[in-house]
Amino acid sequence: MMISDQKGSLRDQASKLRDRRGSAAADERRTGGPLEGKPLEGGLKPPFVGGTPNGGRVRRLAVTSGKGGVGKSNVSLNLGLCFRRLGRRTLLVDADANLANIDILLGINPKYTLADVVLKGKFLQDILIDGPEGLRILPAGSGVVEMVGLDGIAAERLERSLGDLEREQDLIILDTGAGISEGVVGLASASDEVIIVTTPEPTAITDAYAAIKVITARNAAVKLYLLVNQAHSREEAEEVARKIKLVVENYLSLSVESLGYLPQDPHLPKAVSRQTPLLQAFPRSPAAVALMGVARRLLRMPAPPERTPAGLFRQLFVAKPPLRGATR
């Protein structure tokens, strides 16, 4: 009788183990890997998707928009978390000089910004913020624009500190301001890749084209991506992307690659109200799932050739990229 009971217990344990394995396998199929789509624990990094990232160098990605209110900062923050969940060391630079939003979205109050490093002698470690899931955040704010073109000892000190920080990353996401002001254009054009965020609104579409025109006038070599946010359907998003790509090709003789779209999602304003990133508040929401898809798509794309051996921060603070002409 005891042997029969033991056999029954062993069968139950084996059945439970098979169920757990089946559930884990289903999770892997759904998320693309055993750790993708889940917070990293204990500082562990899951395997890189598609091999060694970026050929051993940091990938610099600016997120910008021609018009405010299109969800640019939410895209920047949650995309940063996507990259972390895909195993990339990621730095998010909050560089919106007029309306820094990353701190609001996270419910934090940065004590210092980059300006304090130069003007008040603070160390970079004093201003860096440890964000969710290992995402590092650099609150630059108005300090970025004020310090463009620095020279002398201040620039040298800042460049050295930021250069060390840059070399520790796989990706740097630069959340710029909206519009086509000199500060925004300078920041976006200093990056190797730029994501233009737009919505289906006619004014947002027009302003997205204006941003592309001005940024590429400063840096024609920048790699352009288009992301349609708050779309009601795939068809609507594809039509918006088609219009913008057609105008850019016809009038600027340039190409812009579509990253797809993010659906209009009622979970997003709820996450904003909670001051919690969408990926953490509602990880299975339509927009969160779509963002993970965008992150994977970006990582599968080869990084563009490095325009200069100097880092992003040197380009920002020491020498402005030359203006190539205001019109095309």
- pLDDT of 322 reads 40
pLDDT at 142: 56
Q: What is the dihedral of CA 110, 174, 212, 71, to 10 degrees?
A: -50
DSSP-derived letter for residue 49 is: T
Q: Where are the domains of the chain?
A: 58-317
User: CA 92, CA 73: separation in Å to the nearest integer?
Assistant: 10
- Rounded-to-integer distance, Cα 25 and Cα 29, Å: 6
So what's the pLDDT on residue 45? 39
Predicted local distance difference test score (pLDDT) of residue 119? 74
Sign of CA dihedral 109, 115, 121, 122: positive
**What's the confidence (pLDDT) of residue 103?**
82
How far are the Cα atoms of 23, 30, 32, 54 from residue 26, in angstroms, in the given order?
5, 6, 10, 30
In angstroms, the first-to-last Cα distance of the chain is: 88
Architecture of domain 58-317: 3-Layer(aba) Sandwich (3.40)
Helix extents (H) in the chain: 2-31, 72-85, 102-106, 114-119, 124-127, 142-147, 152-167, 182-189, 202-218, 234-252, 267-274, 278-281, 286-300, 312-317
For residue 45, the SS3 value is coil
CB within 8 Å of 256: residues ≥ 6 apart:
196, 212, 224, 225, 226, 244, 245, 248
- Digit-by-digit pLDDT tens for the chain (328 residues) are 444 444 454 455 545 444 544 444 444 333 333 333 343 333 333 333 333 355 567 888 999 999 888 999 999 999 999 999 999 999 999 887 666 688 889 988 888 887 787 777 788 888 899 999 999 999 876 555 555 555 666 667 777 777 788 888 999 999 987 887 777 787 788 888 999 999 999 999 999 999 999 999 988 889 999 999 999 999 999 999 999 999 999 999 999 999 999 999 999 999 999 999 999 999 999 999 999 999 999 999 887 776 554 556 655 554 444 434 433 3
B/e letters for 82-119, b = 16+ CB within 10 Å, e = fewer, are bbbbbbbbbbbbbbbbeebbbbebbeeebebbbbbbbe
Query: What integer pLDDT is reported at residue 306 of this predicted model?
Result: 65
pLDDT for position 28: 37
Residue 323's Cβ-count burial label (10 Å; 0-12, 13-18, 19+) is middle
Q: How far apart are CA 92 and CA 111, in angstroms?
A: 17
Query: What's the residue count for the chain?
Result: 328
Amino acid letter at 175?
A: D
Q: Describe the strand order of the beta sheet including 129-130 as a list of residue ranges.
A: 129-130, 136-139, 90-94, 171-178, 59-65, 193-198, 223-231, 257-263
Q: Chain centroid to CA 7: how far?
A: 54
Helix axis angle for 286-300 and 267-274, nearest 10°, is: 90
The C-alpha atoms of residue 87 and residue 68 are separated, in whole angstroms, by 31
CA distance 199 to 229: 5
Helices vs. strands in the chain: H and E counts, helices first? 14, 8
